Amino acid sequence: MSPRPPTVSRRRSISDPLAFALLPPPNETPAEREQRLRREAEAKKVNDDIDDMLKAERAAQKKRKEVKILLLGQSESGKSTTLKQFQIIHAHSQFQAERSAWRAVIYLNLVRSVRRILDAITLDESDEESPYGGPRSPTALLPATRQRLPELATLKLRLSPIIAIEEQLIQQLACSEENDTRIMLPPRQGSPEFGQRGSGEISVRTGVNWKQAFAKFKGKRPTGEGNILPRNDPNDPIHVLHACADDMNTLWNSPLIKDILQQRRIRLEESSGFYLNEITRITDLNYVPSDDDVLKARLKTVGVVEHSFSLDKGTEKGVDWKIYDVGGARNQRQAWAPYFEDVNAIIFLAPISAFDQVLSEDPNVNRLEDSLLLWRNIVSNKLLQKVHLVLFLNKCDLLQMKLDNGVMLNQHMTSYGDRPNDYDSVSRYFRNKFAALHQSFSPNQDREAYIHLTCVTDTRKTSEVITNVRDIILKENLKDSRLI
């Protein structure tokens, strides 16, 4: 008896759709079979090549080195400006593409500075005499100054359109609920926050595409079809700003205004986003922001901003960099800890020009003392004992300006004693003070802290510092990984 044919396996094969699809067509000729086999071989080769390419990419990715840098420091210490400097050096095309959005931020910074002056020349209850004698507030105007305020009434009226421009820009920034824009109006003269650094700031959450909200303000010279100059857009705020430019200059250069700001304890020159010395240029109808303008622009971001770039040349070939800018206000510092775990280096920024200022969050805390305490907490943290530390003693230009104007350090830091009040002596004192904290409190005595005196709005000098810091961090990181 002959064996029965394997009908079960044939039914199983035919029941499999893939196996059925791969069966040769019925009545296939030898020539057709040869062509089919050739096509299958070519398809297999393409598939194998793709698999080999993916394997090679995975292998190359494993060989790449990732370096994570954390930017730390109190609010308005220069962290965001340092991040912009990294972008200028390593992602300049992206930095250039975002200029149109920054133009609107620069306008907002300018009009809010004018708004603060207009608020300062407005009397309120804090300027009244106390029942016990003397003014109600240390920021009250002197009686002789109050008597001269009517001189500014006409100028204040002519500048009223500035308020509408401020509201227009704020509404454009907060154009939808999704943006979750946080807006804080300037405090009144009698409040403790009045006149302090950062009072009345506008802030946006990270992840909010505020640059898209400001995208309508193009501000580019024509490079192709569809590019509109600001002067040709009737809704662009530049038209009102240009019309008010002379009045803004008159306001800012008025000796009476200088006296009022001094009595109100308002120092606009020391704040980020200060453009009052460049009103004519910025309100020009053809204005396009420069790199320096963008670096000075201020828009507070709540949360963590991440910037990534890759370097594939020389000793930095195959290195991916991630830089995190973490909010420095007191209520944001709890967000620092999660980034301590796998960070390679910390760039800590301490604004040493702030020795005569207090925190906007707490007027009882000196800003420099706060930076010293933060630095001590960072260097003494055992979780960070293997993390490389870079210290930027920042805003040296403002420090020198203050010292040249006669502001005495020993009136705000008694430990300075009777040392000379010149820039070299003061900067050396701050450098030694921060270095001593690292030496005394670091759990890793072999770790070095790289200290630089900086003005991060100066692109040329900061570029040199950043390049040097980047090379040091990379070298130390590769040494830790035993790759060199």
Which residues contribute to the annotated binding site for GTP? 295-301, 394-397
Cα–Cα distance for residue pair 463/181, rounded to 1 Å: 32
Structure tokens at 33: 């079979």
Minimal CA–CA distance to 377: which of 424, 309, 328, 322? 328
Residues at the binding site are 295-301, 394-397
Q: What is the dihedral of CA 361, 366, 368, 374, to 10 degrees?
A: -60
126 within 8 A of 137, measured Cβ to Cβ: yes
CA distance 122 to 157: 12
| C-beta separation of 202 from 297 below 8 A | no
Binding-site residues for Mg(2+) sit at: 301
Contact 274, 296 (CB under 8 A): yes
